[in-house]
């Protein structure tokens, strides 16, 4: 035996599912042979013990892997200091490391490539690897929980998969995908062109390899679940927000134990713990819901692209209306472009008509005579209809006719939406609610008016106008219960419903062959939002809705009611003209140097009081001005330039009692942009009163 010095001993970096990077520990001699990257260990933490994952090992001062970024390294060290007592000695500060207590797995629980992805995610989103780990793995897994029953009660009867020959366009796209071992594809196919069929066959062609298929909120995809179940039986694990913690654990374990070949799910399924992944598919890649809006603000699509790169596998992004960024990158050759230009069986695209509500005769507040006539006709022919209004509740505000008072959320700078079913005024930001009074709280007036439209109101109106109609509403309020969405879709399929009415939920992905009419009640809700992506979103949403009509034997018709019929987006929607829209929009983006011509990082500053916010932001502003010089302005600085916009009050000034300011960094080069953001954060490190959120690649600037 010889005396070991500190540097002689084996050290490990342990990642815990908390918002921090890895911590360093010593490994006692008897545990050294058991240490494996990705295995769980039990380690002392603060005053207790915690379960973490071995991120990497350092043996006798020799690192098995070099850390990528020095800033991460620095941060890690400070965290080690705070997490563990650092002993200050006269000349040299030595960090006293503690030993881990046990290794809990014989085999790694988290595959090494997944660990790499988790690290990448923490770093890219200027967050921590620990928070990424927490997002990636169900919490019960760390404690070794076995999971619940894991039986998800969908209908047990599944219709057998239809058998047909692929169209020549499908054939061509599929063979390109099958041929490749790696690389990214954009599958751009008009609505109803058979994209899903290509996904299914590409998965079948993989043989032993595994697939992750992401969809934009599984609640929206009852039909996809059925198609996957009928094709792949019990070889599929499902991930969606309706799972209980126990179900989540058992789905995760099924994947980890190799019992399933496919993970189908929303965002977090991108972290499915497969060992032999061959393919990732992102359906409706343009969907905003791939981005997480709180905590770790990651885009599952972009993390998927990173995962495909790390694992050297192929990835398919599918959409009828690709995001501008994705289409741009496809044009530049970063993704292989695959196109489906026609609907299956050469079915025609639906006719789209803009209904000018300033001129049209109206039967009620929300319905033109024209639209009502069309709905009656569809009903008489045994066809179904979809009606969309992208705003839930009954009316977006109550107003006192005498003094103009409207109810605002006490915690957010947002007017409250009246919900008639619960007779409450709800905040759609923080979910709190109030009960309205009979008299105006301000002037005691008694004339209170409902202003504006919500899904509950257009439902009520339509039922009154056509009483014999069987109507169902689908929005977040009617789909809170587990599987309620699935049931509505089933009822629609089985033709128990004449008209399905709701928010954007009704526009996505469904394949109802008997729907001939799709309508937007009040398109103006979506136009002119103060966001550079608002036209893009409007175009995508209306095109997706139009895509639901006329998928069966009878042709489809689309009616868009609006008070702004000359808005430029409508031209492209009517013409089913994606490329025309793209060309117009990409020019605007270029002019303003918005993505894809730049990248954005948004920093949101949250304060407990309005006055503190103002005072401190003045200071912050001065500090930010000082740190700009190393980063040349965007216009003159070439690719390394960074523009710092703000700080300024955020458009939504208060949410959940926090007063918000924000700052947007814009740059072409991801690295210098990130450096600039780091400098901004560094410059205000000592200000205690701020709660800071960093959003890399933000898609919501409100
Ligand atoms: P998309 O995802 O592009 O909107 P789907 O994959 O849902 O389109 O296909 C639309 C419909 O056409 C589905 O009912 C599907 O089963 C059917 N379908 C797909 N490919 C074919 C084909 N080659 N021949 C006949 N029907 C097809
Ligand atoms: Zn609120």
The encoded tokens of residue 416 equal 């409250």
pLDDT at 70: 39
Ion ligand 2 — residues with CB under 5 Å? 409, 411-412, 427, 429-430
- Which residues in the chain are classed under CATH 3.30.70.360? 599-696
- Quick one: which ligand is closest to 548's CA? 1
Query: 659 CA to middle of ligand 1, Å?
Result: 49
Q: Is the pLDDT of residue 80 over 70?
A: no
Query: 526 CA to middle of ligand 1, Å?
Result: 29
Task: Please give the model's pTM, rounded to 2 decimal places.
Answer: 0.89
Residue nearest to atom 14 of ligand 1 (CA): 511
* Alpha carbons 517 and 469: distance in angstroms, whole number: 14
Q: Is the pLDDT of residue 92 over 50?
A: no
Residue nearest to atom 10 of ligand 1 (CA): 192
- Quick one: which ligand is closest to 509's CA? 1
Average pLDDT, the chain: 88
Q: Which atom of ligand 1 is nearest to the CA of 167?
A: 23
Residue 235 DSSP class: G
pLDDT at 241: 75
* Alpha carbons 403 and 537: distance in angstroms, whole number: 36
Q: Is the pLDDT of residue 251 over 50?
A: yes
* Alpha carbons 297 and 473: distance in angstroms, whole number: 31
- What residues have CB less than 8 Å from 51, skipping those under 6 apart? 16, 40, 41, 42, 43, 104, 142, 143
Most confident of 80-89, 573-582, 686-695: 573-582
Percent of the chain with pLDDT over 90: 69
Residue nearest to atom 12 of ligand 1 (CA): 194
Residue nearest to atom 13 of ligand 1 (CA): 194
Say how many CA atoms lie within 13 Å of 531 toward its Cβ: 17
pLDDT at 156: 56
* Alpha carbons 176 and 337: distance in angstroms, whole number: 10
Q: Which atom of ligand 1 is nearest to the CA of 320?
A: 3
Q: Is the pLDDT of residue 556 over 70?
A: yes
Out of 389-398, 434-443, 619-628, 656-665, least confident range: 619-628
Out of 139-143, 170-174, 635-639, 688-692, least confident range: 635-639
Query: 166 CA to middle of ligand 1, Å?
Result: 9
pLDDT at 669: 86
Task: Give me the sign of the Cα torsion angle 474, 478, 481, 487.
Answer: negative
Give the CA distances from residue 32 to residues 39, 102, 136, 642, in Å, rounded to whole numbers and listed in that order: 12, 10, 27, 47
- Quick one: which ligand is closest to 414's CA? 2
- Which residues in the chain are classed under CATH 3.40.1440.60? 6-142
Are 562 and 571 contacting, i.e. CB atoms less than 8 angstroms apart? no
Are 525 and 537 contacting, i.e. CB atoms less than 8 angstroms apart? no
- Which residues in the chain are classed under CATH 3.40.50.300? 168-345, 347-395+452-585
Task: Encode pLDDT of 323-353 as tens digits.
Answer: 999 999 999 999 999 999 998 888 889 999 9
Q: Which atom of ligand 1 is nearest to the CA of 189?
A: 3
Query: 194 CA to middle of ligand 1, Å?
Result: 4
- Quick one: which ligand is closest to 166's CA? 1
Task: Encode pLDDT of 404-423 as tens digits.
Answer: 999 999 999 989 999 999 99
Query: 401 CA to middle of ligand 1, Å?
Result: 52
**pLDDT band at 515, cuts 50/70/90?**
very high
Helix (H, G, I), strand (E, B) or coil at 323: coil
Are 577 and 570 contacting, i.e. CB atoms less than 8 angstroms apart? no
- Quick one: which ligand is closest to 171's CA? 1
| CATH code given to domain 599-696 | 3.30.70.360
* Mean pLDDT computed over 34-47: 94
Beta bridge partners of 159: none
Read off φ and ψ for residue 34, nearest 5 degrees.
-90, -15
pLDDT at 83: 37
Residue of 196, 319, 338 to test ligand 1 pocket, by largest number of atoms within 8 Å of CB: 196
**pLDDT band at 87, cuts 50/70/90?**
very low
Could you tell me where the beta strands, DSSP code E, fall in 442-496? 448-451, 471-474
Report which of residues 610 and 87 the model is more confident about: 610
**pLDDT band at 151, cuts 50/70/90?**
low
Query: 429 CA to middle of ligand 2, Å?
Result: 5
CATH architecture of 347-395+452-585: 3-Layer(aba) Sandwich (3.40)
**For helices 129-136 and 112-124, what crossing angle results, to 10°?**
120
Query: 699 CA to middle of ligand 1, Å?
Result: 31
List, chain by chain if needed, residues with CB within 6 Å of any ligand 1 atom: 162, 164, 166-167, 170, 189, 191-197, 344, 511
* Alpha carbons 517 and 386: distance in angstroms, whole number: 6
| CATH code given to domain 6-142 | 3.40.1440.60
Residue nearest to atom 17 of ligand 1 (CA): 194
Superfamily for the 168-345 domain: P-loop containing nucleotide triphosphate hydrolases (3.40.50.300)
Task: Encode pLDDT of 198-244 as tens digits.
Answer: 999 999 999 999 999 999 875 456 678 888 888 998 899 988 877 88
pLDDT at 330: 97
The encoded tokens of residue 591 equal 């002019």
Distance of CA 231 to the CA centre of its chain: 27
Out of 264-273, 281-290, 474-483, 513-522, least confident range: 474-483
Helix (H, G, I), strand (E, B) or coil at 568: helix
Query: 564 CA to middle of ligand 2, Å?
Result: 30
Q: Is the pLDDT of residue 499 over 60?
A: yes
């Amino acid at each position: 035996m010889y005396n070991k010095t500190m540097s002689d001993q084996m050290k490990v970096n342990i990642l815990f599912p908390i918002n921090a990077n890895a911590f360093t520990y010593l490994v006692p001699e008897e545990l050294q042979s058991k240490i494996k990257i990705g295995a769980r260990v039990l380690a002392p933490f603060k005053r207790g013990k915690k379960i973490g994952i071995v991120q990497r090992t350092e043996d006798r001062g020799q690192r098995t892997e070099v850390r990528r970024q020095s800033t991460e390294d620095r941060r890690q060290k400070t965290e080690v200091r705070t997490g563990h007592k650092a002993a200050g000695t006269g000349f040299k500060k030595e960090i006293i490391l503690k030993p881990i207590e046990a290794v809990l797995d014989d085999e790694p629980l988290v595959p090494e490539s997944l660990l790499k992805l988790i690290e990448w995610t923490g770093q890219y989103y200027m967050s921590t690897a620990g928070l990424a780990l927490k997002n990636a793995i169900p919490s019960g897994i760390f404690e070794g929980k076995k999971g619940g029953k894991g039986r998800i009660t969908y209908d047990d009867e599944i219709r057998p998969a239809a058998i047909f020959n692929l169209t020549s366009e499908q054939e061509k796209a599929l063979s390109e995908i099958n041929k490749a071992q790696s690389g990214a594809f954009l599958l751009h196919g008009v609505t109803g062109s058979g994209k899903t069929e290509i996904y299914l066959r590409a998965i079948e062609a993989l043989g032993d390899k595994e697939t992750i298929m992401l969809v934009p909120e599984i609640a929206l995809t009852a039909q996809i679940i059925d198609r996957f179940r009928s094709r792949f039986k019990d070889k599929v694990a499902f991930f969606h927000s309706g799972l209980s913690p126990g179900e989540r654990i058992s789905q995760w374990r099924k994947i980890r134990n190799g019992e399933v070949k496919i993970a189908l799910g929303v965002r977090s399924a991108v972290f499915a713990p497969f060992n032999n992944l061959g393919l990732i598919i992102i359906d409706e890649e343009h969907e905003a819901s791939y981005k997480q809006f709180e905590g770790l603000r990651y885009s599952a699509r972009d993390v998927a692209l990173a995962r495909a790169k790390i694992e050297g596998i192929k990835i398919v992004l599918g959409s009828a209306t690709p995001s501008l960024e994705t289409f741009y990158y496809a044009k530049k050759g970063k993704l292989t472009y695959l196109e489906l230009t026609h609907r299956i069986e050469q079915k025609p695209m639906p006719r789209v008509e803009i209904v000018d509500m300033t001129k049209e005769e109206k039967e009620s507040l929300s319905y033109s005579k024209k639209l009502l006539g069309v709905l009656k006709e569809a009903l008489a022919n045994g066809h179904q209809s979809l009606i969309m209004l992208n705003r839930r509740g009954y009316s977006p505000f109550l107003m006192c006719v005498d003094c103009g008072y409207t109810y605002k959320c006490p915690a957010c700078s947002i007017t409250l939406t009246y919900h008639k079913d619960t007779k409450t005024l709800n905040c759609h930001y923080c979910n709190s609610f109030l009960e309205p009074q009979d008299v105006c709280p301000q002037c005691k007036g008694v004339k209170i008016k409902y202003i504006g439209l919500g899904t509950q109101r257009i439902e009520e109106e339509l039922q009154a106008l056509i009483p014999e109609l069987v109507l169902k509403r689908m929005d977040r309020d009617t789909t809170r219960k587990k599987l309620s969405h699935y049931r509505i879709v089933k009822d629609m399929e089985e033709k128990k419903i004449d008209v399905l009415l709701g928010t954007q939920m009704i526009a996505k992905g469904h394949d109802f062959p008997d729907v001939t009419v799709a309508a937007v009640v009040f398109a103006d809700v979506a136009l002119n939002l103060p966001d550079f992506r608002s036209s893009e979103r409007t175009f995508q949403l209306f095109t997706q809705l139009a895509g639901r009509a006329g998928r069966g034997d009878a042709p489809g018709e689309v009616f868009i009611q609006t008070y702004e019929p000359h808005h430029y987006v409508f031209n492209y929607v009517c013409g089913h003209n994606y490329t025309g829209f793209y060309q117009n929009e990409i020019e605007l983006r270029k002019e303003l140097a918005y993505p894809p011509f730049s990248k954005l990082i948004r920093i949101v500053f949250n304060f407990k009081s309005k006055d503190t916010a103002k005072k401190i932001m003045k200071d912050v502003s001065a500090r930010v001005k000082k740190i700009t010089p190393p980063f040349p302005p965007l216009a003159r600085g070439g690719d390394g330039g960074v523009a710092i916009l703000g700080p300024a009050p955020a458009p939504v000034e208060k949410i959940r009692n926090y007063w918000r300011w924000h700052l947007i960094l814009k740059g072409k080069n991801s690295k210098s942009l990130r450096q600039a953001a780091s400098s901004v954060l560094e410059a205000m490190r000592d200000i205690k009163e701020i709660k800071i959120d960093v959003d890399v690649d933000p898609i919501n600037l409100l």
